[in-house]
Structure 1
Amino acid sequence: MQATQHISREQLAKIVEAIFGQGEVIVKEASSRYDSPARAFSGTEALNHDLDDDATPGFRFYSIYYPEAGGHVYERRIELIPEKCDGHTHRFKQEGWGLIRLQCRSRAQGTIECNIAVNSEVRAANWSDAYPDMKDPAEWDWNVVKSKAGRLVRLLRKLGQQSSNKPQHPTA
Structure 2
Amino acid sequence: MTYDFYAIKQDQIDLLDFILTETKLQIIDHYSAYDEEVLRYTSATDITAKFDLYNGGSFGLNFALWSPEFKGQPVFEKINLDPKRCKGHTFRYSTMGWGLIRLYLGQIKGNVLSKSHIGHFNEKGAIGHELPNSIMGPASVWNWEEINKASRKLKYHIHNKMAVKKTGTYGILKNAEILEQQGFMLQ
> Shared topology, TM-score over 0.5?
yes
Q: What aligned pairs does 1:18-37 form with structure 2 within 5 A after superposition? A: 18-37=18-37
Partner of 1:135: 137
Residue 43 (str. 1) matches residue 69 (str. 2): no
Q: CA deviation at 1:162?
A: 5.2
Determine the C-alpha separation between the residues in 2 that align with 1:140 and 1:4.
24
* Residue of structure 1 equivalent to 2:69: 68
Gaps of 5+ in 2: 164-170
Structure with greater helix share of residues: 1
How far, CA to CA, are the matches of 2:183 and 2:131 in structure 1? 53
Moved segments of 4+, more than 4 Å = 51-54, 108-112, 161-167
Whole-angstrom CA distance in 1 between matches of 2:98 and 2:131: 12
SS at match of 2:181: coil
Whole-angstrom distance in 2 between the partners of 1:104 and 1:82:
28
Normalized against structure 2, the TM-score is what? Answer: 0.77
Q: When the two structures are aligned, how many residues end up with a matched partner?
A: 169
Matched, 1:168 2:181: yes
- The reply to whether residue 120 of structure 1 matches residue 133 of structure 2 is no
Query: Larger deviation: 122-131 or 153-162?
Result: 153-162
The answer on whether the counterparts of 1:71 and 1:98 sit within 8 Å (CA) in structure 2 is: yes
Tell me what 2:81 maps to. Answer: 80
RMSD, aligned CA: 2.7
Q: CA deviation at 1:21?
A: 3.2
CA distance in 2 between partners of 1:53 and 1:9 (Å):
5
Residue 44 of structure 1: how far off its partner (Å)? 3.2
Structure 1, unaligned runs of 5 or more? none
Identity of matched residues, %: 20
